[in-house]
Amino acid sequence: MNVALVHDWLTGMRGGERCLEVFCELFPAAPIFTLLHAPGSVSPTIERRPIRTSFIQHLPDAESRYRQYLPLFPAAIRGFDLRGYDVILSASHAVAKSVRVPAGALHVCYCFTPMRYVWDLYDEYFGSRAAWPVRMLMPPVAAALRRWDRRTAAGVHRFVAISGFIADRIQRAYGREADVIYPPVDVSRFKVEESAGAFYLVVSALTPYKRVDLAVEAANRLGRRLLVVGTGPEERRLRALAGPTVELLGWRDDSEIAGLYAACRALLFPPLEDFGITPLEAMAAGRPVIAFGQGGALETVVPPGRAEPPTGLFFDRQTVDALVEAIRRFESGRDQFEPKALRRHAEAFDRALFKERIHAYLTARMKEHDRC
């Protein structure tokens, strides 16, 4: 059985790429089709694959400015020729799910979210902070992309969502049901240190919807040390916003990030996130999370007052004041967090379990498809 893997782009090892890495292990002969690839930006497991890119790869400054080519993404993803493949497994948060599927092939989409740029997070990308030509031109472009995105969802036989939150979003955007399989956390990467450090930590792509600015401003106001790991289009603005206690580290390799998790006081997690791998990574290192209490965080973070041991605190408004209040509560010591209990909670999302679940799911869907 010939399998093709489709991924939006390969420019760094984040949560989506860790899922793709598992897919590569499950289907060791499958090539990867992607809009563009920055060589060396992903793990050796992915880099060793035949990687087939679109014309986006050859546009000016594509590796750093690919989001500016958003209106061209539909033509690029539809340009791939997948004839000869029996199974298409797409990992999609933008356009990968819209690839052309050959007649008779099965298409399963592991969906991180419907295209956030034109659905739930349009204002964050193209609102008041965007340049005025972008604000003028994007409304009709976004409307056309929404229509195209909804129409091409018909090419997916089964959607698998990364969370119940995203399954609901798939229902709203595409009118489709989705199964839920939580993405993986490689718990073995992390070690638990019993004593907490003196700094707070953010590990995130520096894009508008991640709301890293809330963590920076809260640290400024409280005079707390904050380390920010990540790169992205918001980096210049965040550096200008950062006070003397805030340090932007850029991106770091896996071992350095694991060490920072183990040494931090707590992870700050301010976005309305689809799922959120970083809170579980922090828990795997025995560290609690202070998270915005909506979206995927509700499915991973356990607040005080539940039957099971707590793994973090929520703040209920996406504001600096609310985050400051949550940090002060955390520092009061009113709530106790046990590092080994945090680790046990993360183990329920371990990479090995994800691999078993996704393998069993795909095997069942292939058998169903063969019977049709």
pLDDT in tens, 110-167: 999 999 877 776 566 666 566 767 677 778 888 899 999 999 999 999 999 999 999 9
| 364 Cβ contact list (under 8 Å, min separation 6) | none
pLDDT for res 140: 85
What are the pLDDT digits (tens) for 340-361? 999 999 999 999 999 999 999 9
Count other Cβ atoms within 10 Å, centred on residue 343. 19
Residues of the chain with pLDDT below 70 are 121-130, 132, 134
Which tokens hold the place of 51?
A: 């990687």
pLDDT for res 286: 97
Pick the CATH number of 3-184+351-371 from 1.10.3720.10, 3.10.129.10, 3.50.50.60, 3.40.50.2000: 3.40.50.2000
Cα–Cα separations (whole angstroms), residue 57 to 7, 60, 111, 123: 14, 9, 23, 27
pLDDT for res 321: 98
Q: Where are the domains of the chain?
A: 3-184+351-371, 187-347
pLDDT for res 234: 94
* Domain 3-184+351-371 identical in fold to domain 187-347: yes
Using a 10 angstrom Cβ sphere, with 0-12 exposed, 13-18 middle and 19 or more buried, the burial of residue 37 is buried
Distance between CA 229 and CA 248 in Å, rounded?
Answer: 6
Single-letter code of the amino acid located at 184: P
- CATH superfamily, domain 187-347, is Glycogen Phosphorylase B; (3.40.50.2000)
Nearest in space to 268 (alpha carbons), one of 227, 222, 321: 227
Number of DSSP helices (H) and strands (E) in the chain, helices first:
14, 13
Count other Cβ atoms within 10 Å, centred on residue 113. 23
CA–centroid distance for 270 within its chain: 14
How many residues appear in the chain?
372
